[in-house]
Every structure is written in structure tokens, then in C-alpha cells.
Amino acid sequence: PSDIWELDLKTIQAERLTYVSRSPVLEHKLVEPELISFRSFDNLEIPAFYSKPKDTTEKHPVVIYIHGGPESQARAVYNPVQQYLLNQGYAVCSPNIRGSTGYGKRYTHLDDVRKRMDAVKDLIFLVEWLKANRNIDSEKIAIMGGSYGGFMVLAAISHYPHLWSAAIDIVGMSSLRTFLQTTSPWRKKHRESEYGTIERDGEFFDSIDPLNFSDRITTPLLVIHGKSDPRVHIKESEQIVDKLKKRNHAVDFIRFYDEGHSIVKQKNKMTAYKEMVRFLDQYIGNGS
């Protein structure tokens, strides 16, 4: 949880005023992440934060946690879902795959338009690195993310289905084509600079969109979406859930009628978080 610091602008000296995370209730439960890096398919160095459960020597089930954006960045900050999973025996890895900010303009643009699937390949090389270098259970690897991170989840399980034992997609796009058709007009032009346009890149979208490869998905999937999402229309979740249900695939869908692009209401957070944990426990928990 966040603490308050005071900065003296003359001396540039900082003083910590509160110690929430050092309280007896929390301090022994919180896990600080380790900064790691791995080489991807083109030898690009990819940074990531890796956290492992405390006081265990057993192989861990692991959750790959993908940030949104894509022009955003995973940081070593408090995340209640991640800390809870760590406390329950799950390892958590949050990579800053190509396209993330914080590593220079070139790095940020390495996933633009036709380079989109290069970022998905980064995840494959992350999994292989974790198998070789960290004490993870290779049979219990989950992937989760929201918004663009949700798209990455769906792209990963549709194009590389053999790697994943469970997946959680939160307000993610299942098709770049239909996303651009249904997102708010004020966002469409902004997003086209990142993803491309239907007129110019529509055939490419069709060749990568998870919706078009849903028949390849073998991973159990949990989908969460707000009905009033102005950025990623709930149709993005509905259409892939419908396809998966038609072939009796293991998919759970939570639709919040009073939420938008984020889960902000406490009662809904409790519902979503509990379901995430139940879902992960079912498919990659130590008793699964």
C-alpha cells in the first residue's frame, strides 16, 4: 500500500512520514520483486519483475501478469492481487515486453502495427527462461492481463496454446478489427497509430486476431468485462466467449453491468478477485 513521503525542495532530501507496509499485519506477508531480464527470439533483452512465494522449496505454479497500454510499464509497486497470489503459493512474473515505455522510443515502437506478434513471442521466451532459471512448475503456468494485456492473453493462448494451463482476460480485445470498429471515436485515431488501420492493415489483423483462431484454444479461460466500457466494447469479450461456449470449451464469463474499462467498485473487486483466485486454484493450484 502507498506511503507518504515529504521532499525538501532545497536539499532534495526525502523523509518518510508513514509506514503502512511495515505494519505488523502486512510486513511479513509482502514480497519484494526481483528484477530479471531474458533474451527474446531476436536477442533483444527484455526486463521483467519476478516474485516467488516465501519459505518454500517446492516448484511453484506461476502467473505471467501482462500490463495494459501497450505503451505502459510494469513497476515494482504494491499490487493486491499479486501479493495475495504470492501469499497463496503462486510465483508472479510481470514482464515489460517490447512496446513498453521506460526503455527508450525505439523499444516502445518495436511492436507497432505489423510487429504485433513479436511481443507475443517475447512471452514464449520468458516462459522458457523461467523454466530454465527459476523453480517453476512447467505444468502450471497461467497468464493474465487487462485491456491490451487481455489481448496479449488471448493472442498467447490462441497462437501458442501448448504453454498455458489457465488464462484470465480482463476487458481485453479479441479482434483488432472489431475493436477499431466499436471503440469510442475519440480513441480510434489514437489507437490506429499503434495498431494500424482496417483499410491498410485489415488483412494482417485477420491473420493474428485471437477471435479467428479460437478453435486452437485449449486453455481454460476466465473473462471479465464491464458492460459500459467506452474503450474496449464488451462485444470483444462476448464474441470470443460465444465461440468457445459453442464448442463446449471451459470458459467462465463475469459481466459487470455497473462498470466500465476498470473494476472500481469495492463489491465488484471482491467478486472479481475471489473468482480469479478460485479459477487459478482450480487449474494451477497446488491441489489441482
Q: What pLDDT sits at residue 243? A: 97
Position 70 confidence tier, pLDDT thresholds 50, 70, 90? confident
Q: What is the pLDDT of residue 287?
A: 55
Model-wide pTM > 0.85: yes
Distances (CA, A) of 37 to 81, 126, 161, 191, 244: 23, 9, 24, 29, 35
Please tell me the predicted confidence (pLDDT) of residue 15.
95
Distance of alpha carbon 54 from alpha carbon 56, whole angstroms: 6
Residue 288 has pLDDT above 60, yes or no: no
**pLDDT per residue as tens digits for the range 17-37:** 988 877 777 778 889 999 999
Q: Is residue 169 within 8 Å of residue 221, measured between CB atoms? A: yes
What three-state secondary structure class fits 225?
A: strand
Compare 71 and 119 and report the one with higher pLDDT: 119
Can you tell me which residue has the cell 470470443? 240
Cross-strand bridge partners of residue 15: 6
Q: Which three cell numbers stand for residue 128?
A: 522458457
Confidence (pLDDT) at 25: 78
Q: Is 177 exposed, middle or buried (0-12, 13-18, 19+ CB in 10 A)?
A: buried
How much is the pLDDT for 286?
66
Q: 63 CB contacts (<8 Å, ≥6 apart)?
A: 82, 85, 90, 91, 92, 93, 142, 143, 144, 280, 284
Q: C-alpha grid cell for residue 73?
A: 510499464
Question: Could you tell me which of 114, 117, 241 has the C-alpha nearest to residue 172?
Answer: 241
What the chain holds in terms of domains, given with CATH numbers, is 23-284 (3.40.50.1820)
Looking at residue 244, its amino acid is L
Give residue 145's pLDDT.
96
Within 113-153, strands assigned E span 136-146
What mean pLDDT is predicted for residues 87-92? 93
Residue 48 — very low, low, confident or very high, per pLDDT cuts 50/70/90? very high
Mean pLDDT for all residues in the chain: 93
Determine the Cα–Cα distance for residues 32 and 17; give it in Å rounded to an integer.
21
Q: How high is the pLDDT of residue 132?
A: 95
pLDDT above 90 covers what percent of the chain? 83
